[in-house]
Chain A
């Protein structure tokens, strides 16, 4: 009898749990397809009438410029940080030199420096160099903030690549640079994908630096969404449509490339 009660209890807990995770995303989709009137009429969890796809059109009109901005900023910053992180991570995982240890400590801590601790100088730097007026401001900021993460993630992956591969090339007289680009990089392609996905998601979703440094011309999607939420307070249908649009790209990455996403997350937890 005791085990049956347990079984029921666990199943109930489990159902509540599922509900907790399904409801928000379900509500987001359903609300985004209603009219404001249908929302206030409390049609609860179902569509009140025909789905109103024009909400998406309106949300897209409001946010497409920011989607483009975010895409440019995120793609460039991700590519550069991942590439430079790959170089640095390779050094850290293969060479034991006097500065390796202190550098490693600085980089690991650098991964977790709260953005608040660099925000004021960052704004000053971007204003002084006039980079803040263009995409370059946010791109450069995100590279500074993400190179340590990329180096740590890539380094963790390089550790799992057997050294024999390089040693035979070494005997053949190849230089370290040649070995890295010709032998290691192709083998490490999945690691690059994982690291790039992690950093892409991080930059696409970043808010504090984006909020502080963006101009009307460079405004990324997170800042735009916050603005839409603030200016269309009662229009939950529009808010939810914009929410869905702005989370679509990282969500698709996650759903389609989940294996890489998880590997990246685990590498950050030193379990690459």
Chain B
């Protein structure tokens, strides 16, 4: 049996003898599925340069034909704008609210109710967007739906809204569901990054020195949880970019194209309009944006693993 020495982390002098067959047991399944995954991504790139239109595959090379078509579609421009709105309004308010909440729960003397509040804001994270989308469709229903009925009951009729049936604001109401669903997740990540002993000691020292609560938050906590914020930001951005389920279940992209996003257009183009090359092109665009978003996360992860 062939043997080779593999240095165990941080101990270059000591080498354990590990046989190839053992490496294969640990590594082969992982490599196998990772290779399939990336071959599929590569295949999507390839199809986006083909001329595949219709149900059966056509692989002849069409160059940038479908990309040119895509960039000229007004629907594509609307989608990019909607996706940017998602990235901005879905992510940053979540991050901001989560910072304050995590601070209150972890340091601001809210310890008593912590587990109750945590459960309450985290339960949506265990549900699918299809579930929460169905519930919120009923909340938002303009005629007899929950929110408008409640507002009428409280004689606050002027606050009533058409919610997701209103072309001008529909996208924002969808984003609000996303914030609702991801907030708990954001809070626990930030709480965990506040839970280092150095940071706790610094906060205690600052309290003794008489620093105000806001000072503690902005001058001590925020600079020390940059790593956690970076990770959370990447995770939220990528989730906001991939959003498809909420759009499908609540508005199906409407009214008009007001809630259409790239991921939804990709699905419609590929499986309903059978413009497969166009769908693949849209998938490539989504992949490239995701790739850019995930770079900081990957670098951070590398530093942690191979330190």
Q: Tell me the A residues contacting B by CB distance below 8 Å.
A: 18, 20-25, 27-28, 31, 39-40, 42, 44-45, 84-85, 87-88, 90-97, 100-101, 103-110, 112-122, 124-125, 143-145, 147-148, 151-152, 155, 159, 163, 170, 175-177, 180, 201, 204-208, 211-212, 222, 225-226, 229, 236, 239-240, 242-243, 246-247, 250-251, 253-255, 258, 261-262, 265-266, 268-271
Q: Could you tell me if A147 and B287 are in contact, using CB atoms closer than 8 angstroms? A: no
Residues of A within 8 A of B294 (CB): 108-109, 112
In whole angstroms, how far apart are the Cα atoms of A183 and B274 in the complex? 53
- Provide the main secondary structure of the chain B interface: helix
Q: Does B126 lie at the interface of the complex (its beta carbon under 8 Å from any beta carbon of A)? A: yes
In whole angstroms, how far apart are the Cα atoms of A151 and B266 in the complex? 29
In whole angstroms, how far apart are the Cα atoms of A243 and B244 in the complex? 18
- Provide the main secondary structure of the chain A interface: helix
Q: Name the contact of B231 in the complex, choosing from A151, A159, A270 (C-beta under 8 A).
A: A270
Q: Does B263 lie at the interface of the complex (its beta carbon under 8 Å from any beta carbon of A)? A: yes
Q: Could you tell me if B38 and A106 are in contact, using CB atoms closer than 8 angstroms? A: yes
Stretch at the interface among B2-10, B72-80, B87-95: B2-10
Q: Which of B4-32 contact A (CB under 8 A)?
A: 6-9, 16, 18-19, 22-23, 25-27, 29-31
Q: Could you tell me if B150 and A117 are in contact, using CB atoms closer than 8 angstroms? A: no
Q: Which of B274-295 contact A (CB under 8 A)?
A: 276, 279-280, 282-284, 286-287, 290-291, 294
Residues of A within 8 A of B197 (CB): none
Q: Could you tell me if B6 and A22 are in contact, using CB atoms closer than 8 angstroms? A: no
Residues of B within 8 A of A239 (CB): 134, 138
Q: Does B121 lie at the interface of the complex (its beta carbon under 8 Å from any beta carbon of A)? A: yes
In whole angstroms, how far apart are the Cα atoms of A117 and B238 in the complex? 13
Q: Name the contact of A42 in the complex, choosing from B22, B57, B131, B149 (C-beta under 8 A).
A: B149
Q: Could you tell me if B290 and A113 are in contact, using CB atoms closer than 8 angstroms? A: yes
In whole angstroms, how far apart are the Cα atoms of A27 and B139 in the complex? 8
Q: Does B248 lie at the interface of the complex (its beta carbon under 8 Å from any beta carbon of A)? A: yes
What are the 9 closest A-B residue pairs judged by CB atoms, nearest first? A88-B30, A205-B128, A254-B126, A117-B287, A121-B40, A91-B26, A118-B40, A121-B43, A84-B29
In whole angstroms, how far apart are the Cα atoms of A123 and B43 in the complex? 12
In whole angstroms, how far apart are the Cα atoms of A116 and B9 in the complex? 37
Q: Could you tell me if B193 and A271 are in contact, using CB atoms closer than 8 angstroms? A: yes
Residues of A within 8 A of B188 (CB): 262, 265-266
In whole angstroms, how far apart are the Cα atoms of A22 and B120 in the complex? 7
Residues of B within 8 A of A107 (CB): 30, 34
Q: Could you tell me if B153 and A114 are in contact, using CB atoms closer than 8 angstroms? A: no
Q: Name the contact of B286 in the complex, choosing from A20, A116, A148, A265 (C-beta under 8 A).
A: A116
Q: Does B178 lie at the interface of the complex (its beta carbon under 8 Å from any beta carbon of A)? A: no
In whole angstroms, how far apart are the Cα atoms of A204 and B180 in the complex? 20
B11 CB, nearest partner CB in chain A, Å? 9
Q: Could you tell me if B287 and A114 are in contact, using CB atoms closer than 8 angstroms? A: yes
Residues of A within 8 A of B259 (CB): none
For B, the interface residue count at a CB cutoff of 8 angstroms equals 94
Q: Could you tell me if A250 and B34 are in contact, using CB atoms closer than 8 angstroms? A: no
In whole angstroms, how far apart are the Cα atoms of A148 and B34 in the complex? 7
Q: Could you tell me if B130 and A226 are in contact, using CB atoms closer than 8 angstroms? A: yes
Q: Could you tell me if A266 and B130 are in contact, using CB atoms closer than 8 angstroms? A: no
A-B CB contact pairs (8 Å), 8 listed? A22-B120, A44-B150, A88-B26, A91-B30, A119-B270, A121-B40, A205-B128, A208-B263
Q: Tell me the B residues contacting A by CB distance below 8 Å.
A: 6-9, 16, 18-19, 22-23, 25-27, 29-31, 33-34, 36-41, 43-44, 47, 57, 119-132, 134-139, 141, 144, 146, 149-150, 153, 180, 185, 188-189, 192-193, 228, 231-232, 235, 238, 241-242, 244-245, 248-249, 263, 266-267, 270-271, 276, 279-280, 282-284, 286-287, 290-291, 294, 297-298, 300-302, 304-306
Among residues of A, the one whose C-beta sits closest to the C-beta of B283 is: A116
Q: Could you tell me if A147 and B40 are in contact, using CB atoms closer than 8 angstroms? A: no
Residues of A within 8 A of B271 (CB): 212
Residues of B within 8 A of A262 (CB): 122, 188
Residues of B within 8 A of A271 (CB): 189, 192-193, 228, 231
Q: Name the contact of A101 in the complex, choosing from B25, B127, B138, B302 (C-beta under 8 A).
A: B302
Q: Name the contact of B302 in the complex, choosing from A22, A105, A246 (C-beta under 8 A).
A: A105
In whole angstroms, how far apart are the Cα atoms of A109 and B288 in the complex? 12
Given contacts A120-B279, A270-B231, contact A27 B302 (CB under 8 A): no
Q: Name the contact of B232 in the complex, choosing from A24, A225, A269 (C-beta under 8 A).
A: A269
In whole angstroms, how far apart are the Cα atoms of A242 and B130 in the complex? 11
Given contacts A109-B294, A120-B279, A144-B37, contact A27 B135 (CB under 8 A): yes
Given contacts A21-B120, A143-B33, A271-B192, contact A205 B129 (CB under 8 A): yes
